[in-house]
Amino acid sequence: MTIKHIEHLIIGFGKAGKTLAQALAKTGKSVILVEQSATMYGGTCINIGCIPSKKLAFLAYGHDVQPSLAQAVSKKNDLIDKLDHANFEKVDSLDNAEVITGKASFIDNKTVQVVTDTDTLTITADYIYINTGAYNWQPPIDGLKDSKFAYDSTRIMQLTDLPKQLVIIGGGYIGLEFAFIFAGFGSEVTILETGDTFLPREDEDITKTLLAIMAKQHITVKTNQQIKKISDSGQQATITTADSELHADAILVATGRRANTEGLNLEKAGIELTDKGYIAVNEKLQTNVPNIYAMGDVAGSPQFTYISLDDYRVVKSQVLGDGSYTTKDRTFPYAVFVNPPLANVGMTAKMAKDKGYDIKTATLDAATIPKANILEQADGLLKAVVDAKTDKILGVQLLCAESHELINFMDLAIRQGLTYQQVRDHIFTHPSMSEALNDLFAAIN
């Protein structure tokens, strides 16, 4: 058994963890970063999340010469291997920093045991940071666990034989992105949503436009689907719902993610959890144990890589700064990488009305945008929501080409309190997708 003492111990190689490790080491602090899997250096985003899925999306419908699914998976794996190695070196090559590959568990609030392939280490630390992410959760559907045709979002990205029929359980954003990826490669895709509304967070006109786009790309959505059982028969699975049967060559289970805390023995450190199983933190991302912080998905933060990065900024402010930067009043845009992408910031019209705002709205058909036609991506709808009393922008929904880039400008406009007239009259380059914002805000009424 090896015993070590360190100033800062980080558990989990996610975006927040690796960035904090680098910042601490570069300021002369001693730090150990523990990652339980040699295939997860860099965290979820690089290995099994954003980067591989977006690479597959690009190859599915962003490429002039489309590769086969097997070729696309190979290209994706090459990219991940490169990034995985680079992320390990970014931390382990630093003076004062060390990466240890092993399974961590708490002994007490300042002591962690790490079991590696060759040793069992006992590490004491002044400060400990938990950044272990989340895992794919599967509902207790009869036959699901034993079906050889069932995949989660991690495993389906290694599938090299294109399923002719893909059924996706779950109508959220993860399932939606994979629906477009596999439809892009040629699969017939059916999404089963248990609720009575598809994408309830979005305004109805945006959802209606997206559903029309999905229909053109051979993606069907069925709502109010109560799944009774799944059974394998030959080379297909049968999904039995309350009112029908579907057959699939593959099933993607996209029913959400849960905090990855199993085996950490958090109770030995006295760390409290929320009702939903996340590590409970305050606006400083500090747990109820003062020397222990949690960051990213495991802390219940919105499950985006850029939020994990912002969590790093919060914790850095606490341990290396003046503590003024917190999660209080944090706002951010998000994008769903469908085809074309859907991006959103601020409030939808429904949200604004529910909060008592008197609003003005405008929509713009993407087909009217010159750049969209140049790109041959003219499907979509843009929508803006404005406070009728102050003319300030409350929210924007963009279902159009390059919306994942445009939304960052709109987030900044909202943060800076710009009026819709200021965006309407802003001078944008031409031809560009951003100039469509002139026309969108000119249509406010």
For 316-342, write each residue's pLDDT tens digit. Answer: 999 999 999 999 989 999 999 999 999
Q: What is the pLDDT of residue 62?
A: 76
Q: What is the pLDDT of residue 325?
A: 96
Residue type, 262: E
Q: What is the pLDDT of residue 345?
A: 98
Q: How far apart are CA 18 and CA 42, in angstroms?
A: 7
| The overall pTM is greater than 0.85 | yes
For residue 6, what pLDDT band results from cuts at 50, 70 and 90?
Answer: very high
- Among 3.40.718.10, 3.40.50.300, 3.40.50.880, 3.50.50.60, what is the CATH number of 150-255? 3.50.50.60
DSSP 263-324: TS-HHHHT--B-TTSSBP--TT-B-SSTTEEE-GGGGT--S-HHHHHHHHHHHHHHHTS-S-
Q: What is the pLDDT of residue 215?
A: 96
For residue 65, what pLDDT band results from cuts at 50, 70 and 90?
Answer: confident
Q: How far apart are CA 370 and CA 228, in angstroms?
A: 48
Q: Do residues 383 and 362 make contact, with C-beta atoms less than 8 angstroms apart? A: yes
Q: What is the pLDDT of residue 122?
A: 97
Q: Do residues 22 and 97 make contact, with C-beta atoms less than 8 angstroms apart? A: yes
In sequence order, which residues have a C-beta less than 8 Å from that of residue 429 and are 6 or more positions away? 435
**What is the overall mean pLDDT for the chain?**
95
For residue 66, what pLDDT band results from cuts at 50, 70 and 90?
Answer: confident
Q: What is the pLDDT of residue 3?
A: 85
Catalytic residues: 430
Q: Which of 429, 425, 428 is nearest to 441 (CA)?
A: 425
Q: For residues 139, 144, 149 and 153, what is the CA-based torsion angle, rounded to 10 degrees?
A: 10
What topology is assigned to 334-442 in CATH? Enolase-like; domain 1 (3.30.390)
Q: What is the CATH number of domain 2-136+258-319?
A: 3.50.50.60
For residue 206, what pLDDT band results from cuts at 50, 70 and 90?
Answer: very high
**Which of 50-64, 159-173, 292-306 has the least mean pLDDT?**
50-64
Q: What is the pLDDT of residue 292?
A: 98
Q: Is 319 left (phi over 0), alpha (psi -120 to 50) or beta?
A: alpha
- Average confidence (pLDDT) over 358-372: 98
189 versus 42: the higher-pLDDT residue is 189
Phi then psi dihedrals of residue 72, to 5 deg: -65, -45
Structure-block tokens of residue 399: 């279902």
pLDDT per position as a tens digit, 260-312? 999 999 999 999 999 999 999 999 999 999 999 999 999 999 999 999 999 99
Determine what percent of the chain is predicted with pLDDT higher than 90.
Answer: 91
Q: Which sequence spans correspond to the domains of the chain? A: 2-136+258-319, 150-255, 334-442
Q: What is the pLDDT of residue 445?
A: 79
Q: What is the pLDDT of residue 234?
A: 86
Q: What is the pLDDT of residue 42?
A: 85
Q: CATH topology of 150-255 equal to that of 334-442?
A: no
Q: Which residues of 9-28 are buried (b: 16+ CB within 10 A; e: fewer)?
A: bbbbbbbbbbbbbbbbbeee
